[in-house]
Amino acid sequence: MRIYHNMEAMNAWRTLTGVKSDMGKSLEKLSSGLRINRAADDAAGLAISEKMRNQIKGLDTAVRNAQDAISMIQTAEGGLDEVHSILKRMRELAVQATSDTNTDADRVQLQNEFTELRDEINRIAKTTQFNTKNLLDGSLKETRDAEAKLVSPGSAHFAVGTLVSQNYTKSGNIILEVGQFTGSSASTLEVKATFITATGSAVTYVASTAGALTIAGTSITWDTNQIASINDYGGTLATGTVVDGGAAVVYGQVTAGATGVAPLNFHIGANEGQVISMGFESMKADDLGLTTGISIDSASNAEFAISAVDAAVYRVSAFRAKLGAAQNRLEHTVKNLGVASENLTAAESRIRDADMAKVMAEFTKQQILMQSGTAMLSQSNQLPQQVLQLLR
């Protein structure tokens, strides 16, 4: 028997210290609800769960981004809904002005309203905003390799691909004429595209109204429906005749730009590069083909205005359809991101969160061991006193 080193007490103390440490960890898990509170609890699990947490935060932010994008689209679409209503009224006025039951004074009043409505289209295009960004004034328009846009009577819209030729550059003026130029039959109309280059030289190409014209291996296309809206000719046309005595001559500007570059990127994923891009077309009256040259102050002008408004309605409808498709896509994106976030959260929870029932069972066991260990330490501390029995 020894009194200098009480090995039994030391053993009981060591065991009790370990139980106390385990009890402290269990209390920490119970109070925090987490299985991993520090890297030492599970180093690999901590690294994996932190990566998952970043992904979850990214997915949740992507959901908000997509929802904001939907709100932006809805703002633009709301403005276009009113533009559609205005165009319907402008068409009514044009139809009314074509009738000779109206006097010149009557048409002046009709023209006043027609002009005000066109000005309102411009106002809507310039002031429709989302988070201070103008949506319908063309500042957020997608750029193409080169584009020609009509700016006087007529409202066809066609895109020009990369112009590869030594005869002209990417930038220059373009005149588009509808008529007969090559002696074809009277029932066949042709489109003559004349490019005025930066140096002033002219390059002319002629094609039928099939909707495509190939220049230096590049196809130029236009909307045949919109071209047809100004093809209201009748009878036999002589070679070189321009439809409507010049009313069908349309002018545009070819401008160089990057191919298919959309100015807006909506980040809809948790990782780099997970974006969708889109642009917002200009809905100004001039860009819809409703220039100041279009009027309803006479029956003939009103007849032409009807086709111009119809083409504008087509343009607005096409863009609204594009916005609606983008909104539907984003709504599906939100649902997909929500499912991904939910499943990733469940996986992260299995790694990081504490099973409270299991931890509580461990804590109860540790309480019992703590009590028994304390009792045994008390007993082992009494052993050296038995040596005094030998000294009697």
pTM value surpassing 0.85: no
Q: Which residue has the tokens 């193409």?
A: 144
**Residue-wise pLDDT tens digits, 286-321:** 888 788 878 899 998 888 888 888 888 888 998 999
Give the model's confidence band at 143: pLDDT under 50 very low, under 70 low, under 90 confident, else very high: low
User: Looking at per-residue confidence, does 214 or 251 come out higher?
Assistant: 214
Give the model's confidence band at 141: pLDDT under 50 very low, under 70 low, under 90 confident, else very high: confident
Give the model's confidence band at 105: pLDDT under 50 very low, under 70 low, under 90 confident, else very high: very high
**Residue-wise pLDDT tens digits, 191-211:** 666 655 545 555 555 555 444
CB distance 271 to 261 below 8 Å: no
Specify the pLDDT at position 223: 45
Distance (Å, whole) CA 95 – CA 86:
14
Give the model's confidence band at 385: pLDDT under 50 very low, under 70 low, under 90 confident, else very high: confident
Q: What percent of the chain has pLDDT over 90?
A: 49
Distance (Å, whole) CA 77 – CA 324:
8
Specify the pLDDT at position 47: 94
Residue 159 has pLDDT above 60, yes or no: no
Q: Which of 244, 375, 371 is nearest to 308 (CA)?
A: 244
Torsions phi, psi for 179 (to 5 deg):
170, -150
**Residue-wise pLDDT tens digits, 237-259:** 333 433 333 333 333 333 333 34
Distance (Å, whole) CA 67 – CA 204:
48
Specify the pLDDT at position 123: 96
**Residue-wise pLDDT tens digits, 35-94:** 999 898 999 999 999 999 999 999 999 999 999 999 999 999 999 999 999 999 999 999
Specify the pLDDT at position 383: 82
**Residue-wise pLDDT tens digits, 2-47:** 777 888 889 999 999 999 999 999 999 999 999 999 898 999 999 9
Distance (Å, whole) CA 311 – CA 226:
6
Distance (Å, whole) CA 264 – CA 135:
11
Pairing status of strand 157-160 against strand 146-149: antiparallel
Tell me the longest C-alpha to C-alpha distance in the chain: 146
CB distance 90 to 120 below 8 Å: no
Q: Which amino acid is at 281?
A: E
